[in-house]
Each structure stands twice: as C-alpha cells, then as structure tokens.
Amino acid sequence: MNSPPNLTSRRLEFDDAVQAMEYYSAAGWTDGLPVVPPTVSRVTEFLDRAGRTPSEIVGVEPAKGRVITAEKVAVNAVMAGCLPEHLPVVLAAVEAMAEDEYNMHGTSVSTQGAAPMTLVSGPAARELGINSGVGVFGPGHRANASIGRAVRLVVSNVTGAAAGELDKATMGHGGKYSWCIAEAEDVSPWEPLHVERGLHADRSAVTVFAALAPNQATNHTGNSPEPILASVADAMLTSGPPSQSEIVVVLGPEHVGYVRSAGWSKRRVKEFLHGAARRKASEWAKADALPCPSRPDEYVGVTAGPDSVTVLVAGGAAGGFSAVIPLWGGGAGSRSVTKPIRW
C-alpha cells in the first residue's frame, strides 16, 4: 500500500507499534520518551481537522532554510500524543516561532538553554481543557503535555535543533520536554494577553516565549500588593542582567487576589515591578553586568521599562507563590510573538 499522493513524508513499515517506537528512538526522532507512531490515517485525520493541506507552508527556519509544512507539524503532533483538535494550537505556535522577532534559530541552538513556552488564551484554552490552575507548569494534563511536546518535537525533528547536536544548551530545563499553559482568565481581574495585544476577546490565540527556567517567588504573609510584589521584584533581580526588554511574571491566584482587592490595574503592577526590581549601578558592575559606571549610586532596573514586564495569571488557588520567567537574551534577542489560532 502506497501513501496518498498528497502526503510526501517517507513511509516506513513495522510489525507493531513497539517496533516503530524503538526505530524512532534509535533514529533520534524523539525527546527520549516513547512516541505514538504517526500513521497515514492519523496524520490525515489531524490535517482534516485543522483544515490544512499537507504542503501548506507554516514557516521557514531561517538559518538552514528548512521549510516547515503542515504535514510535518501534524506528524510530530501525532508523535507527541496530541488529539486532532490540538493541531490548530500547535500550528499557531509554530507560525509564531517562525516570525523574525522570536528568532527560532538562535533560541534553539544557544548554550543558554531556552525552551518554547506556549501560552494559550481565549475560548480554545477552555474547550481543550488546557490547564491554568494547580501545577500549571507540571504534569498531569494531556492537552498541556502533548501540545508543548509537539512544539518541541517540531523544533528538534523539522528544524534539526536536536539536543546535543544543534541544541548546545549548557544546562537546559524541564520545559524543553514540554511547556504549554493557559491563562487563568476566570481568576484574573485583567484582560488576557491576546486582548492586551490587540486581538478580540472572542478569538483564541497562542503566545510563544523563548523561556528560561521559572524562578518561584514566595510570600505567605503579605496581604496587600506592595509586599507581595516586592517579593516578585526580588525574584526578578536574580533573573539576569539589567535593562531586559521582556520578562514574564506569572502571578498566582492567591497573590493576585490581594492585588485585585486593592483595585490595582495591570499597568500599575508593571510600573511597581519595574520600579522595585532595581539595584545600584555599582552592584551590577560587581557582577560585570554593567561596565564601570560613572554614577555608581544610580539605580538601574532589571527591565528597560514597565512595558518590558509581561504579566500573566495562572496557578493553583492555594499557596502564596508566583513565578518570574526570564527570556532568552534578556528579551533582546527574542521577543514573544502572539498569533491567532485558526479554530
């Protein structure tokens, strides 16, 4: 039996699924974990669900000029354990990574070890059951795990940035296996990120960040915005050099409840964090993060300005925890990109 003429991927025959999984592992086409064999019928089902033709170009990897087609994305989504309805999210994430601002090549091969973090907002997050609550960065939710894993497999298998080959991360982190979350829009007092970036609230969207490992900010005693956000600002200070152009702050529901009760806008939160996450130029210079300053007592912020702080709401309802997520190159080498989902 030959592959349908509209599918161009090489066809392999195996006696059973186990043999297929072992072959894929030996070939280096996995993340180290077993994969679902991408059969012709399953890949076709995924593409039909997304309304995409196999040859449709989703993006191009800039350094090698590798063309990423909808078929290749669908193959990796099947391998990652996705359901057909997950493919539109994966496609939108790959489209976002293909934009110049994201810098797909640099973020994928750098020694700094960034991972693509996919944020889903809008109706699709609810319909697909993408977790925004307890253990938001952890395991236990198929949509989160498989969508995030599919994005990573596309980076490895289609662009060639496999771990230990083009991917030269010195340390890396768990998000390199899979990293997909949703905003807790039902908890947040503010508009979701895709609306903040100009899309209608009824649209579904993904935002992809070239994200380093999260740094947890803890405050169990504060019951007003200032002490809680001061703890977050302290975590920001450990997250890299000064004057970063983008850094992500994920406020947990318990923390954001106090912020909401005080009537703070998202803008005010950003301004506070930018102002609080500062240290003297002389202190930055001690770590060679700045050249020898002419005004050593001048305070220099972690972020370039309030708009450099991207604020999200997610996590479990209980616990005085939030998180700070620095981005690759301090956000200068890679900017997060938001794309609507063709849903």
What is the per-residue pLDDT for 3?
46
Q: What is the pLDDT of residues 138-180, one digit of tens each?
A: 999 999 999 999 999 999 999 998 888 889 999 999 999 999 9
- Locate all alpha helices (DSSP H) within 135-276, ordered by sequence: 142-153, 193-196, 225-237, 253-261, 266-276
- Locate all alpha helices (DSSP H) within 128-223, ordered by sequence: 142-153, 193-196
**Residue 123: pLDDT over 50:** yes
Distance of CA 109 to the CA centre of its chain: 16
Phi, psi of 120 (to 5 degrees): -110, 130
Q: What is the pLDDT of residues 295-342, one digit of tens each?
A: 999 999 999 999 999 999 999 999 999 999 999 998 788 999 999 999
What is the per-residue pLDDT for 2?
44
Report CA torsion sign: 299, 238, 119, 151.
Answer: positive
Mean pLDDT of the chain, nearest integer = 95
Mean pLDDT calculated for residue range 184-204: 97
Distances (CA, A) of 45 to 84, 85, 193, 287: 7, 10, 31, 54
Mean pLDDT calculated for residue range 73-100: 98
Mean pLDDT calculated for residue range 175-190: 97
Q: What is the pLDDT of residues 216-253, one digit of tens each?
A: 999 999 999 999 999 999 999 998 899 999 999 999 99
Percent of the chain's residues with pLDDT above 90: 89
What is the per-residue pLDDT for 24?
95
* 152 DSSP β-pair partners: none
* Angle, CA of 10, 16 and 19, to the nearest 5°: 75
Distances (CA, A) of 284 to 239, 275, 295, 303, 338: 13, 16, 12, 13, 32
d(CA 12, CA 23): 10
Q: Which long-range contacts (CB under 8 A, 24 or more apart) does 16-25 make?
A: 24/79
**Residue 4: pLDDT over 70:** no
Structure tokens at 186: 């039902």
Is the CB of residue 9 less than 8 Å from the CB of residue 71?
yes
Largest Cα span, the chain:
74
Is the CB of residue 146 less than 8 Å from the CB of residue 82?
yes
* Strands 309-313 and 247-251, bridge-based pairing: parallel
Cite the beta strand spans of 34-161 per DSSP E: 57-61, 66-69, 115-121
Return the domain boundaries, the chain.
Answer: 17-212+334-340, 215-326
Structure tokens at 203: 């649209």
Q: What is the pLDDT of residues 15-41, one digit of tens each?
A: 999 999 999 999 999 999 999 999 999
d(CA 96, CA 190): 24
Reported confidence tier of residue 100, pLDDT bands at 50, 70, 90: very high
Neighbours of 65 (CB within 10 A): 7
Is the CB of residue 318 less than 8 Å from the CB of residue 187?
no
Structure tokens at 128: 């697909």
Q: Would you call 92 helix, strand, or coil by DSSP?
A: helix
d(CA 15, CA 178): 29
Structure tokens at 151: 């994005």
Neighbours of 245 (CB within 10 A): 17
What is the per-residue pLDDT for 62?
86
